[in-house]
Amino acid sequence: MAIYIDQEKKLFTLQTRNSTYQMKVDEKGVLLHTYYGEKADESDFSYLIGPFDRGFSGQPGDACGDRTYSMDYYPLEYPVLGNGDFRVKALLAGPKDGPAALDLRYASYELWDGKYDLTGLPALFAGEDTCVQTLEITLKDLYREVYVTLLYGVFEEQDVITRAARITNREKEVWTLRRAMSLGLDFLQGDMDLIHFYGKHAGERQLERRPVMHGIEEISSTRGASGHHHNPFMILSGRDTVEDYGACYGISLVYSGSFKFQVEKDQIDGLRLVGGLNDEEFVWELAENESFVTPEVVLTYSGQGLTRLSGNMQSILHKHLIRSWWKDQARPTLANNWEATYFQFDAKKLLQLAKEVADLGLDMLVLDDGWFGKRDDDTSGLGDWFVNEKKLGCSLKELVDQVNGLGVKFGIWMEPEMVSEDSELFRAHPDWALQIPGRAPVRSRDQLILDLSRKDVREYIKECIEQILSSANIEYVKWDMNRSMDLAFNVTEPGVSQGAVRHRYMLGLYEIMEDMLTRHPKLLLEGCSGGGGRFDAGMLYYSPQIWCSDNTDAIERLRIQYGTSFGYPMSAVAAHVSACPNHQNGRVTPFKTRGICAMQGAFGYELDLNKLSEQEKKEAKEQAAFYKKHQALFQSGDYYRLNSPMDERAYTAWSYVAKDQSKAILSVVHTDVYANPKRIRVRFKGLCEKTSYRINGEVYTGAALMRGGYVLPVPECAYDSCMLLAEAADILQ
């Protein structure tokens, strides 16, 4: 049992293996948040909240006379506008033509075994052998028939608690929501660091850590996608928390659209976090008996540092969010033709690539952009999802059959959400694009976005996808999305707010992906948005892997993949070996190093395999063979960051350790070289102390490798690297 309810005290205590989360209904029916942190017991923690007569902090109507009682500094479970709380709020709601105001009080609860789901939205699921409990706490406005049900899913063993909220209008008149967040989370002690992952196109998820100061900090996206620029995963940690020490909270929003996290340090040094949908231009109407359901947030607490926190996140997303048939299968190693040919290809060239794919021992050829409509550059053709047979020189089926004939699987690129103005689709349906009549649209990569909030548009896209997928043996789709959504106006329903259209768009996108995967359950979907512009937990519900960045430079990837590892499973990180000089930054790195970096995730190649030298081909064959031999370890081993590429100039190291500790792979990339160098000793993590491990013919105890470390060979050139396989000596005999 994970959820304890003391009926008399109206105390709700959620227990996981290593953490405790508690709420209490006070004497006025207000739901207080009393504790979240290191595992405790079911004691009533409300004694920690000292009532106090605090100037300029008012009392709700029914607390008249008691100046020590104020929503303005009490830790609240779901803060709203309307009861005298002046901090950031989770919910702003009111009658359509009236003021936003709520004062939520406890109404009832329900407790049941299993995990709630959020119809139409991605969310964690229980799975067959996992004990999960759901708690629903319903609050009601003091004055009106408006209800908020807070949903909690407790994954006891995994140290994870999920949250979402359902807002229901039982009034006759229409109510509007102007902000409806997934959670509020109050901490009495706000002395914390905020760790978040900012970035840009070709430079996603850069870790930044800073102390939370007084005022309001925001991590958000208004781009209609989670975006390259901020990620909907963040961490609140103790000031002294490091990889293996200290308290920290991981917060991951299961949503792929515009989002907002706000962190406020208040007048008495408490801290409040609210997070969920971005409320810019958001007005959602609720008619009588209608409900609005927010996206889900996944919370995990670690009292033992960031490594444990990442392990919790990686494992819960892998086991309880990713549904793909492929999640525990060896993912196909692939070669993508984008950086090999860009738009200049025909079937002959693709078959030459496919032959190399077979020769190197890889599994799949992926045909990227340019195979459909009129698409020889990125200014036209999006929306016309019919094969350009003239360009290919044959039908798609003929091409795929020939590729398959070489023993190679076939995958394809699509960007179904978009339309080029120079396309047959746009000429036929200009109103299908998101734009405001009378205003020139903002163009980005010369393309507009289709209005997925419209059913007719969704049906068209579903049909296009189905026609392509059923026309040939296509086993993988790279689903791209190559621009930000600025304005979101639905011409058929001009009264709907832009924020609401943005959210409906996301629901529409999820519906289309669900439809595609229901029809093709064994299809491997790889998410992409100009690289990692939609790398979020929402997408992982559909695509078990995501193209991590359009930046394929091995050295810049170190930071991108490092940042990504904090909140996401490494099996989700698609990474490829590309050509040198690198196409994005001109850097030259050894082939070996590019291979080692790409093996950090779902491995592949993105260069003209026909142009490899004999030596490179030999290395590529060895890389493919090594990756496949140890694929289970790369895909599902425990992942350790051994140092930080943000702080350390000389080298970056990481490792994978098998769950049974029988083997480990440690990778090191030298990011700077020195004359007369000092020797670098890298300490392994996660090995069994008493087991002997063999590395390059020498035997070391786990304790020695973890305490003393392994002495690295001196790098022989710029960006040199090494990968060490440590195998338990006894299983070698």
Chain positions contacting ligand GLA, by CB under 6 A? 338, 368-369, 378, 413, 480, 482, 528, 530-531, 547, 550
The answer to whether the CB of 724 falls within 8 A of the CB of 695 is yes
Smallest distance from the beta carbon of 377 to ligand GLA, in angstroms? 10
Active site residue 698: no
The residues, any chain, with a CB within 8 Å of residue 387's CB and separated by 6 or more, are 371, 372, 395, 396, 468, 471
Among residues 595, 600, 527, 594, the alpha carbon closest in space to that of 570 is found at 600
The rounded distance, in Å, linking the Cα atoms of 192 and 637 is 31
Q: Check the CA dihedral 526-529-535-538 and report its sign.
A: negative
User: What are the distances in angstroms from CA 604 to CA 407, 582, 609?
Assistant: 17, 16, 12
Of 279 and 526, nearer to ligand GLA (C-beta) is 526
Of 341 and 471, nearer to ligand GLA (C-beta) is 341
3-state percent helix, strand, coil for the chain, nearest multiple of 5: 20, 35, 45
Smallest distance from the beta carbon of 13 to ligand GLA, in angstroms? 46
The answer to whether the CB of 607 falls within 8 A of the CB of 589 is no
H-helix segments, 253-324: 306-320
The rounded distance, in Å, linking the Cα atoms of 232 and 219 is 8
The residues, any chain, with a CB within 8 Å of residue 399's CB and separated by 6 or more, are 347, 350, 351, 367, 392, 410, 472
Segment holding 33, helix H or strand E: strand 31-38
H-helix segments, 343-429: 347-360, 389-392, 396-405, 424-428
User: What is the residue whose two structure tokens read 């190649």?
Assistant: 605
The rounded distance, in Å, linking the Cα atoms of 545 and 318 is 11
Smallest distance from the beta carbon of 519 to ligand GLA, in angstroms? 23
Smallest distance from the beta carbon of 293 to ligand GLA, in angstroms? 31
Of 60 and 531, nearer to ligand GLA (C-beta) is 531
Catalytic residue among 339, 616, 619, 720: 616
User: What are the distances in angstroms from CA 320 to CA 115, 339, 346, 404, 657?
Assistant: 11, 34, 41, 33, 21
Q: Which residue is nearest to ligand GLA (CB)?
A: 369
Of 308 and 483, nearer to ligand GLA (C-beta) is 483
Of 181 and 524, nearer to ligand GLA (C-beta) is 524
Smallest distance from the beta carbon of 420 to ligand GLA, in angstroms? 12
The rounded distance, in Å, linking the Cα atoms of 573 and 544 is 9
Active site residue 110: no
Dihedral Cα 202, 204, 209, 215, nearest 10 deg: 100
Smallest distance from the beta carbon of 223 to ligand GLA, in angstroms? 15
Catalytic residue among 536, 556, 606, 619: 536
The rounded distance, in Å, linking the Cα atoms of 418 and 452 is 10
Smallest distance from the beta carbon of 711 to ligand GLA, in angstroms? 39
Task: Label the pairing between strands 524-527 and 545-547.
Answer: parallel
Among residues 728, 731, 720, 726, the alpha carbon closest in space to that of 670 is found at 720
Q: How many CB atoms lie within 10 A of CB 129?
A: 6
User: What are the distances in angstroms from CA 161 to CA 79, 321, 632?
Assistant: 19, 13, 28
Smallest distance from the beta carbon of 318 to ligand GLA, in angstroms? 23
Retrieve residue 711's tokens. Answer: 């002495």
Of 122 and 530, nearer to ligand GLA (C-beta) is 530
Provide Rg for the chain, Cα atoms.
27
Smallest distance from the beta carbon of 339 to ligand GLA, in angstroms? 8
Smallest distance from the beta carbon of 480 to ligand GLA, in angstroms? 5
The rounded distance, in Å, linking the Cα atoms of 686 and 640 is 8
Smallest distance from the beta carbon of 552 to ligand GLA, in angstroms? 9
690: exposed, middle or buried (Cβ count in 10 Å: 0-12, 13-18, 19+)? exposed
Of 109 and 338, nearer to ligand GLA (C-beta) is 338
Of 225 and 528, nearer to ligand GLA (C-beta) is 528
E-strand ranges in 239-294 read 248-254, 259-265, 271-277, 284-286, 291-293
Of 281 and 378, nearer to ligand GLA (C-beta) is 378
Of 422 and 550, nearer to ligand GLA (C-beta) is 550
The rounded distance, in Å, linking the Cα atoms of 450 and 462 is 13
Of 451 and 480, nearer to ligand GLA (C-beta) is 480
184 - beta bridge partners? 274
Active site residues: 536, 616
